[in-house]
Amino acid sequence: MSETDYTGAGDPRRTIELLWGVRDKPRRGPKPKLTVDQIVTAAIELADSEGIAALSVRRAAERLGVSPMSIYTYIPSRSELLDLMMDRVHGELTDPPPSHDWRATMTLLAADAWEMYHRHPWMLQLITGRIPLGPHSFAKHERELSAVDAIGLTDLEMDAVVAMVNGFVQGIARGSVESAGLVRRSGMTDLEWWTASAPVLAEIPEADAGLFPLAARIGQAAGEAHGAASAPLSTFRFGLARLLDGVEQLVIGEASTSESELPS
């Protein structure tokens, strides 16, 4: 991973101007041959098909049939381009239907993000300590905070809940994407891999199931249930529900504390 695989690594002023379209304003002179939007689209298509490591200004230029210098006229470097790509992808996320059920809303938002990461696996390869300060990224964060607004949490607790859920989704989605990639590269499903591995493992006395009874019992149950060594989507749904259970208990605890403080 190169240094430019960090979001927020570009020039702040140039990046923000590009994110908000300031540098796309009409200019005097000949009509530009390209737009920032076209460049970002080409870059996302390249990353989707070949991964983030394949992304470069030169490759994006080849995809558009122009010279790399033509790209630099619009976007100074790969660093700014990464921020533009991430913000654009955040624009694919949608507003959930109005609801007073914060758990249902958070579940919908998390599922939407899960699908986004599977459409654009390269998003999981970026180090995102600095989220792009663009309109779509702000809108994403606003939706997430709105889901837990006015349910009894403090502002800091709301921020922490959103960060916790986002981190969980990213982590499980990363495992899911990696598992799918392994199947593609190896040409072997998890079930095929286990079918080939189990007889060999059984020949090794040190690997006797009697030595590891819990692992053997639970592994067999999970394998029979999912038909694979792991089930990322099932883990995602189960884990998200348990996270929200914890948040719900926090909300209940906050409400109980507030009630106990009321004058009798």
Q: Last residue of a domain, which of 42, 63, 90? A: 90
Residues 165 and 43 both lie in one domain: no
pLDDT digits over 215-244, tens only? 888 888 888 888 777 789 999 999 999 999
Interval 36-79: pLDDT, tens: 999 999 999 999 999 999 999 999 999 999 999 999 999 999 99
Q: Examine the domain organization and report whether 29 and 121 are in the same domain.
A: no
Residue 240 near residue 170, CB atoms below 8 Å: no
Instruction: Give me the CATH number covering residue 16.
Output: 1.10.10.60
Point out which residues pair with 6 in neighbouring strands: 127
70 and 108 housed in the same domain: no
Are 148 and 162 in contact by the 8 Å Cβ rule? The answer is yes
What residue numbers bound the domain in which 112 lies?
Answer: 102-260
Q: How many domains does the chain have?
A: 2
Q: Is residue 95 part of a domain?
A: no
Residue 32 has pLDDT above 80, yes or no: no
What b/e string do you get for 134-149 counting C-beta neighbours within 10 Å, with b at 16 or more?
A: bebbeebeebbeebbe
Q: Please state, in angstroms and rounded to a whole number, the distance separating the CA atoms of residues 107 and 170.
A: 14
Q: Is residue 96 part of a domain?
A: no
Helix, strand, coil % in the chain, rounded to nearest 5? 70, 0, 30
User: What is the tens place of the pLDDT at every residue in 111-143?
Assistant: 999 999 999 999 999 988 889 999 999 999 999
Residues 84 and 165 reside in one and the same domain: no
User: Is 129 part of any domain?
Assistant: yes
16 located within any domain:
yes
